[in-house]
Homo-oligomer: A and B are copies of this chain.
């Protein structure tokens, strides 16, 4: 089981979220508390939006806890929109092109979970990818195939609709192969402005997902916390597992839901796969 984190808010050094919290993503990679697999040593990736036309992506197949370059970058790069992902492979090879987040233009995508029976239905799913997009698929994972299906089905114009259609198509294809529960997922996607986060599984027992309480509320409860004083009211984290034990800081994303982190009021709404018509 993978672990991931999405951050939006006041630009900070990546190490603030990757290394410093008590239950940081790096610590989780060694001893996940809520995950199915206890070790996430099958590669990792970090994506961040900076001053370039596309986000940066740094990926490695070394365990994150050993990677000296990650530590260097985390101490020197600041960003206000960061994705980080630590992988526990569900079977596909451990190589950079299989590490999350995946990138397409301005978009980043990361996934925790799997498509059941992927080995058997991969060809059908890949065939449904827009032929124009197909040559840009670089790796061999279910997660990247899922991303390209969502792109094919409208992610860039209608993110929620694109994901709902992709999940509907995956469920439809899986069930045609007698797969009872075709998909298990938490997903984060961003265009550099907003973050969309999804929690869903065909069997309605989805992997954990949490979002942080709004900063103004937390600051009122913990008036002495220096981090809360340093970050803006708009700052928000979405994570597979809570990063620390600050009382009141973490809220579970409900089953079959999605959230949108954006300027102004965030959104939390039900997620409904849309089967192909």
Contacts and interface: CB of A to CB of B under 8 A. Distances in A.
A38 B42 contact: no
Interface string A15-44: 000000000000000110000001101100
B119 A123 contact: no
Contacts of A134: 122-123
A131 interface: yes
Given A95-B96, A135-B123, A138-B140, A75 B52 contact: yes
Contacts of A61: 62, 66
Interface residues of A, number: 47
A52 B39 CA distance: 31
A134 B38 CA distance: 32
Nearest to A39: B39
A161 interface: no
A69 B60 contact: yes
A76 B96 contact: no
B59 A76 contact: no
A254 interface: no
A90 interface: no
A135 B138 CA distance: 15
Interface of A, helix, strand, loop or mixed by DSSP: mixed
A183 to B, nearest CB: 18
A57 interface: yes
Contact of A56 (B52, B73, B138): B73
A72 interface: yes
Interface in A98-148: 119-120, 122-123, 126-127, 131, 134-135, 137-140
A97 interface: yes
B93 A76 contact: no
A9 interface: no
A261 interface: no
A88 to B, nearest CB: 10
B41 A31 contact: no
B38 A58 contact: no
B39 A56 contact: no
Given A42-B66, A95-B96, A119-B135, 12 more contacts: A31-B39, A38-B38, A39-B41, A52-B75, A58-B73, A60-B69, A62-B94, A69-B69, A95-B95, A123-B135, A127-B127, A137-B140
27 contacts: A30-B38, A38-B38, A41-B41, A41-B63, A50-B76, A56-B76, A58-B72, A58-B73, A59-B69, A62-B62, A62-B94, A63-B63, A66-B94, A68-B96, A93-B95, A93-B96, A93-B97, A93-B138, A95-B95, A95-B96, A95-B97, A97-B140, A119-B135, A120-B135, A122-B134, A127-B127, A137-B140
